[in-house]
Structures are given as structure tokens and as C-alpha cells.
Amino acid sequence: MNLDHLRVLVDIAQQGSFSNVAKLRDLDPSSVSRIVQGIERELGVRLFQRSTRHVVLTDEGDAYLSRVSHLLEELDSASDELKSVAQQPAGTLRVTASVAFGQTCLVPLMPEFARLYPQIQLELIFTDANLDMVSDRIDLALRLSPRMGQDLVRVKWFDASYKVCASPDYLSRHGVIQQPGDLSNHRCVLFGHPHPQSSWFVRDAAGTTHTIPVPAAMIASNGLAQRELTLAGIGPALMPTWLSALHVASGQLVDVLPGYTVTPGDFEGAAWLLYPNRSFLPAKTRAILSFLMSRNSEWTSKS
């Protein structure tokens, strides 16, 4: 039986008038009459006594609607309670990122997030493999590329840039790097496995782009390892600014090409937040999206 039709019955019992209920619900009076007649026909009893001026419940109608009203109230209460739960950020939230990106950009923000949302149990899954959002039950993925499944929603978190960095010790032993072409004389710490970045793309102040082949001293599949090898003086490395900024600021690393824009492939690099395309986004996912977007300036300032 149609619940809206049952609500019409309750309104009629309270209002004592078909026409008043029609105005209340913006219905044609004849539609209200048809609703009542249809339910009476289905039940096989008369629910209302009608006169030209009044509509009064029959004994059968009074008994029926006393129970229906209670059930409708319980149903409304259950719906309101469920909506309230859905709006409260709570439950397990599974977030994935690469090891270096998650450790560097996400972990420092998580104590504040935990204080703001104590009912969310956060699972941080740091791996350099791209997990399947559905089969691995991932709520949010942090990626440095938006190129993933077409069924995912993509939100830019912050723009990302890269710097060619080397340790002061390395430069004192091997000489200063003054221009991109000098890199061909230096064995670098490359990122990527099994396909390392064997060439870097350089854009000068005039906007001209060059491709620079770079020989390898070592190859690291993890950004944190690449940074540690660079700090140890193995060779220059092209690293995202969010990974190297603090070490450049402290003098542990040197930005060797400050007048150039250097990238492993995309001059419009960015960090992205990706999540499944759902009709109803859970409150816990909305909470972390809003939180991270409110903190994106912390990493934009380092890029």
C-alpha cells in the first residue's frame, strides 16, 4: 500500500475535510477522494462518513488509523534516525597513497583530523601499487596523477612542482651544476621501477622546453629512499617539492637549477583526491575531503 496515500488518510482524520487536505498537499480534491475510495475498496470497509460539511471516521476507520498513525510515526522516526547517523562522520575510513606521498603529506595532518572526527577509524594504506578502489574497499585515494578508472571522481588537492636537488657534499666533490646540460656529466639518483625516469624535461625562462638525458648512479622505486640516497651524496635527483622543500630550506639539499622548471613528464603536475562515484557520498568521506581541501595551502606553499 502506498505510504503517501496512508498519510493522506491521517491528514483527513485530523483536518476533517477532503478539501483542506487537498489544499495542504496541493492536490485536486477529486484526487483525494480517489485515494480514499481506492483504500476503502482494497480494505473492504468504509473509513469515513461523508456529509456536505463534515468528514468523520467510522469505527472501523478509527481503529485502522490509530494503528496506521503509530506505524507511520515509527517509520518517520526510523528514517530521521538513519539520516542523522548518515550525516555523522563515523565508521572505518580506508585511505590509500604511495608510501612517500602518504608519509610526507598525509601523516602530519592526521592528528588534527583524529581530534576533529573521533568517531572515524582511519586505515592508512601506504603502497606504491595502485589498489582497486572497489575490491580493496578504498574510500579515498591520494594520487599524483588523475589517470585512473573512469568511474572515479577526481578533485585536485594542490599543484605540484619538482626540483633537481643535490647534497652540498656531493657538489663539493663533483662540481656545481649551473645549467641543465651539466647533468649529463653527473650520475643521478633516478626514480621509478621497473621503468626509471631516464630523461627529464626542462623549461627555461623563455618558455623553451628541452629533454635532458640523465645517467643513473642508483634507481629507487620509493621517493623516501630516493631522498635518503640524495642526502647521502650519491648524486642529484629530481624530486617533488613536497618531498624536498624542508631539506632545501634547512640546507641539507641544494636546488641546483633554480632558474628552470624541471619535470619528469608533466609541467602541470598536481596531487589529486580520488573516490568512487556514488549517488550518496558517505559522511566520513565528505569529512576527509573537506578537511584535506582546507589544508591544501600547507603543501601548495611548498610547491
Strand residues in the chain grouped as ranges (E): 48-50, 55-57, 91-97, 120-126, 140-143, 152-159, 162-166, 188-191, 199-203, 209-213, 216-220, 237-240, 254-255, 261-263, 270-276
Tell me what pLDDT residue 98 has. 93
> Mean of the pLDDT values across residues 218-225?
93
Tell me what pLDDT residue 80 has. 62
Sole residue written with cell 573512469: 150
Is the model's pLDDT at 259 over the cut of 60?
Answer: yes
Instruction: Point out the least confidently predicted range of 44-58, 70-84, 181-195, 208-222.
Output: 70-84
Domains and CATH numbers, the chain: 3-87 (1.10.10.10), 91-160+269-300 (3.40.190.10), 162-263 (3.40.190.290)
> Mean of the pLDDT values across residues 66-93?
78
Tell me what pLDDT residue 193 has. 67
Please report, rounded to a whole number, the percentage of residues in the chain having pLDDT higher than 70: 91
**pLDDT tens, position by position, 3-58:** 889 889 888 888 888 888 888 888 988 999 999 999 999 999 999 998 777 789 99
- Band (pLDDT 50/70/90 cuts) for residue 283 is confident
**Which comes out higher in pLDDT, residue 26 or 233?**
233
| 126 vs 98: CA distance, rounded Å | 5
Tell me what pLDDT residue 95 has. 97
> Mean of the pLDDT values across residues 62-66?
90
- Band (pLDDT 50/70/90 cuts) for residue 186 is very high
Tell me what pLDDT residue 132 has. 83
Tell me what pLDDT residue 172 has. 96
Kindly report the number of other CB atoms within 10 A of residue 16's CB atom. Answer: 14
pTM, full prediction: 0.69
> Mean of the pLDDT values across residues 237-245?
95
Tell me what pLDDT residue 265 has. 82
| 53 vs 117: CA distance, rounded Å | 57
Q: Are 260 and 211 in contact (CB under 8 A)?
A: no
Tell me what pLDDT residue 195 has. 76
- Band (pLDDT 50/70/90 cuts) for residue 70 is confident
Is the model's pLDDT at 161 over the cut of 70?
Answer: yes
> Mean of the pLDDT values across residues 245-268?
92
Measure CA of the first residue to CA of the last residue in the chain; give whole Å. Answer: 60
